[in-house]
Amino acid sequence: MSSVEFSNQKILAILKQELAEAVERAYAHAYAILKLEDRAEPRLIEACITEQAAALSAKLVTTRGGNVVTFPGNDVRPAEAGHLISKDATASSAAQELIIATLRQRNEATIRELQAELEEYGVEVTPGNLSVILSRLNQSGTITRSGRGLYKFAG
């Protein structure tokens, strides 16, 4: 096997892994959205993802080379640091939505229970970031701290 073939296989494996992670995030986000709408059924999750993918595909603009895709209004690719910030912001947003939905369903939940719920649905949040998210939700009045490490929905 030549080094070019090995390199292509490595790139292919990395791209497949990234695609799998993107699909996992899509399921987590769709579940969080539908859970907030009290419609978290497996068939609806699939439909939500399919609908969003179709809407996004309709906006695609493929260049002549066929290997570059752009979206109208996105003339410049963000810098890597900005890209990472937006990815973290998306994970934080999904985490907030899932935390609120979980606390709406239960009377209250511990930090460990909330972390387990996030992990169960593929939303990756470090314990430190979870603490920040809970603190901000508490400050905004969306949730209340009912005890040490114990939170409940305020609405």
Residue 38 lies in a domain: no
Residue 54 lies in a domain: no
Domain hosting residue 140, numbered range: 79-155
Residue 150 lies in a domain: yes
Q: What is the pLDDT along the chain (155 residues), one digit of tens a residue?
A: 555 566 677 777 777 888 888 888 888 888 888 888 888 777 787 888 788 777 777 776 554 545 555 555 544 444 333 333 334 556 667 888 889 888 988 889 999 999 998 888 888 888 888 988 999 899 999 999 999 989 999 87
Predicted local confidence at residue 61, as pLDDT: 58
Closest CA to 142 of 99, 112, 107, 94: 99
CA distances (Å), origin 142, targets 66, 114, 123: 46, 15, 20
Other CB atoms within a 10 A radius of the CB of residue 143 amount to 26
Residue 88 lies in a domain: yes
Residue 145 lies in a domain: yes
- Burial of residue 102 (CB within 10 Å: 0-12, 13-18, 19+) is buried
Residue 58 lies in a domain: no
Predicted local confidence at residue 114, as pLDDT: 92
Q: Into how many domains does the chain fold?
A: 1
Predicted local confidence at residue 74, as pLDDT: 46
Residue 146 lies in a domain: yes
CATH number at 155 reads 1.10.10.10
